[in-house]
Amino acid sequence: MADKPTLVKCLVWDLDNTVWDGTLLEDPNVDLFPGIRDVIVELDSRGILHSVSSKNDHDLAWQHLEKLGLAEYFVHPQISWGPKSEAVKEIADRLNFAQTAVAFIDDLPTERAEVTYHAPDVRCYAADQAASLAKLPEFSPEIVTVDARRRREMYQAGFRRDAEKDTFKGPDEDFLRTLDLVMEIKRADEEDLSRVEELTLRTSQMNATGVHYSDATLRGLLADPDHEVLTVTLTDRFGPHGAVGVILLERHPDVWHLKLLATSCRVVTFGAGAVILNWLVDQAARAGAHLVADFRPTDRNRMMDIAYRFAGFTDESCTCLTALPAPGEEGVQRLHLLATAREAPTTMRLTSPELAEA
């Protein structure tokens, strides 16, 4: 069986004779090729971003995209007279995507060849393939998560956030206070599970154990009254960050066992891991339960280790839990909580399930 192709995360479009039928500088009223709008909208709904690499007058081209009602679909467009390979590489870097996850479509073989030569990992497609792209496996993710459907919105919000931060006068802490951050912790549901599994699989810097929980395992735990599978989302005045964390908690009468905490690296600067830990400490204290956490050091999760230490966890031996580790949990340390409950930072507004009363 052939390996599945790497999924495309961003499709970069040429404009003249690719998106629209004609050359804009020769005909200011060029219209879209049939079916182009449908392809762009469909791929966007699957979480595939769109961008532009076009040799054109920037203002004129962007105004025409706005007139056609398509401008909102393109993130970090590169419209200039420079090499398209440089534009494609700039888009990949700005989106933090490997070039293997980027595709380029253009009507001219010479332009595709130029991109292939300078960015050989970028997949190139001829303009006459546009209508069939949505049928190709590399544009067809098996699961489209809630976050995937709004991926463009999250990236655009991130660009606006970064732009304002660049012009903000003052320390980073003061800028965070202007964001009106809202963190929500809730019990996971069926729709959340695909994103939860993705977080346990892909997050490394802010994953406390590196243990991967499959979709099937998580579904089983949802129905287990002794376990809580919780998702963490974050929004601010620019828009949603989406699902940024997952908590797996096993609750015994006198002991709460934090088996997994993973947060997206995108929200490290917001101190999300520390806020979640402080909230758990408070919830356990309200329930009169002792809190124990699993941690397995890796070469990448030093920041999560620091978050646990600041929350009051130590390596002191803990005899509260004596069960053998489950498969995949070998080498996991049990950290013992010595800290007392504390409040979340005032820069966060936290809503959550009341675990202590469940």
Residue 342's CATH number: 3.40.630.30
pLDDT above 90: percentage of residues in the chain = 41
Q: What CA dihedral angle connects 14, 18, 23 and 24, to 10 degrees?
A: -60
Structural contact between residues 289 and 254, judged by C-beta atoms closer than 8 angstroms: yes
Q: Is residue 67 situated within a structural domain?
A: yes
Rounded Cα gap, residues 353 and 358, in angstroms: 8
Q: What is the DSSP string of 222-255?
A: HT-TTEEEEEEEEEETTEEEEEEEEEEEEE-SSE
Asked whether residue 250 falls in the same domain as residue 344, the answer is yes
Asked whether residue 203 falls in the same domain as residue 287, the answer is yes
Token pair in block for residue 22: 């004609």
pLDDT, residue 324, reads: 40
Structural contact between residues 39 and 130, judged by C-beta atoms closer than 8 angstroms: yes
Rounded Cα gap, residues 272 and 231, in angstroms: 12
Asked whether residue 213 falls in the same domain as residue 351, the answer is yes
Domain of residue 18, residue span: 10-142
CATH number at residue 76: 3.40.50.1000
Least confident of 46-50, 126-130, 316-320: 316-320
Report pLDDT digits (tens) over 209-267. Answer: 777 777 788 888 888 989 988 888 888 899 888 888 888 899 887 888 888 888 877 77
- Of 142, 160, 180, the domain-final residue: 142
Assign 29 a pLDDT band (cuts: 50, 70, 90): very high
Asked whether residue 71 falls in the same domain as residue 206, the answer is no
Asked whether residue 91 falls in the same domain as residue 224, the answer is no
Q: How many domains does the chain have?
A: 2
Structural contact between residues 124 and 116, judged by C-beta atoms closer than 8 angstroms: yes
Report pLDDT digits (tens) over 154-212. Answer: 899 989 999 999 999 988 888 888 888 888 888 888 777 777 777 666 555 566 777 77
| The one-letter amino acid at 134 | A
Asked whether residue 64 falls in the same domain as residue 184, the answer is no
pLDDT, residue 205, reads: 54
Q: How far is CA 274 from CA 161, 170, 279, in A?
A: 22, 23, 9
Asked whether residue 249 falls in the same domain as residue 122, the answer is no
Asked whether residue 85 falls in the same domain as residue 181, the answer is no
Asked whether residue 298 falls in the same domain as residue 246, the answer is yes
Q: Is residue 154 situated within a structural domain?
A: no
Rounded Cα gap, residues 15 and 106, in angstroms: 8
Asked whether residue 132 falls in the same domain as residue 213, the answer is no
